Amino acid sequence: MAVYTKITEGELCSLLELYGLSGLAACEGASEGIENTTYFVTLNNGSKYVLTIFEGADKSSLPFYAKLTRVLSEAGLPVPAPIVDRHGQMLQRLHEKPALLFPRAKGSHRTRASIVDCAAIGAMLARIHLTLLEQKTDLKAPNPRGLDWFESVMKDLSERVDEASRALFTRLLSVRSRLDAMTLPVGLIHGDLFLDNTLFFEGRLSAVIDFYNAGEDILLLDLAIVANDWCCDALGELDRQKVSALKAAYATERNLSAQENQAWAMLLAWAAGRFWLSRLKSQLDNEAHQKDPGQYRKILERRLQACL
């Protein structure tokens, strides 16, 4: 269970009072999630909330994430945003850790995406990108898993991996160099839009969540991350119908340039490399919560072949 920080009923009630909320009916620790503590909170009037307590070492970007989700929510998009308390604050503290309270969106996670689901997320992702491009706030942040991160992690791991892995590092940097030589639209991206970062209710996309890897990068990289997860089988092969539905739905909201279409294969490879590298680092650092880097290595190798 993803509960690393335990709170008492009294602590929770005191927190709720800051928002003018009362009548606690139930509080249940969430089983999903591997990095933070999550509680599902229900009030006597039936209102439901999600309380997230952030356990990670770097919490400096939380105000950015909170503001970003509020911009999207206030634009009418299905993005749960932190609730503002009676003092106008979003960020709270519990056990000396930052915490945010969200309204709980209806729906549940999909385990497999259909063609219709892929079209739904494609259109929604384009709307998210356009909203963030058009907003006039000071929302700016680099991609926390962008090129600087890649180069730092590659340097750290270069003496801890085999020659074949180092060769993949070199090929990935070559792909990125080719991408950076192109004129590709850049803006704020979700950066981690796997299927489990969405909810579906009554057959429809009901929420996009977990923007904690958001930052500025190539816009279409977001779509490539989605394709590698939503449109991919266990062997790393892309389902052409799902990819077509994903891209076509995105393009109905935001037109894709000729260069973006030309860069698609390279973006798929770079997106695969980002998750292979993060999982590889987690494994080699013996972190408590790990995902198999082998899965994304297979995907990466397939995507690099398409870049030749």
pLDDT tens column, 231-269: 999 889 999 999 999 999 999 999 999 999 999 999 999
Angle at 261 between CA 205 and CA 268, to 5 degrees: 65
Among residues 228, 245, 246, the alpha carbon closest in space to that of 237 is found at 228
φ, ψ of residue 52 to 5 degrees: the values are -115, 125
pLDDT in tens, 167-191: 999 999 999 999 999 999 999 999 9
State whether 28 and 98 are in the same domain: yes
| Last residue of one domain, picked from the residues 78, 103, 128 | 103
Residue at 125: amino acid letter: L
State whether 46 and 132 are in the same domain: no
State whether 184 and 270 are in the same domain: yes
Burial class (CB in 10 A: 0-12, 13-18, 19+), 276: buried
Could you give the number of structural domains in the chain? Answer: 2
Q: Is 10:26 a contact under the CB 8 Å cutoff?
A: no
> pLDDT confidence of 1, banded at 50, 70, 90?
very low
User: Tell me, what CATH number does 30's domain have?
Assistant: 3.30.200.20
Name the E strands within the chain: 24-29, 37-43, 48-53, 92-94, 97-103, 186-189, 198-201, 204-208, 215-218
β-strand pairing of 97-103 with 92-94: antiparallel
Domain that residue 60 falls in: 9-103
State whether 258 and 135 are in the same domain: yes
Alpha-carbon distance of 139 to 121, in angstroms, equals 23
Q: What is the pLDDT of residue 33?
A: 60
> Quick check: is 3 in a domain?
no
| Last residue of one domain, picked from the residues 51, 68, 103 | 103
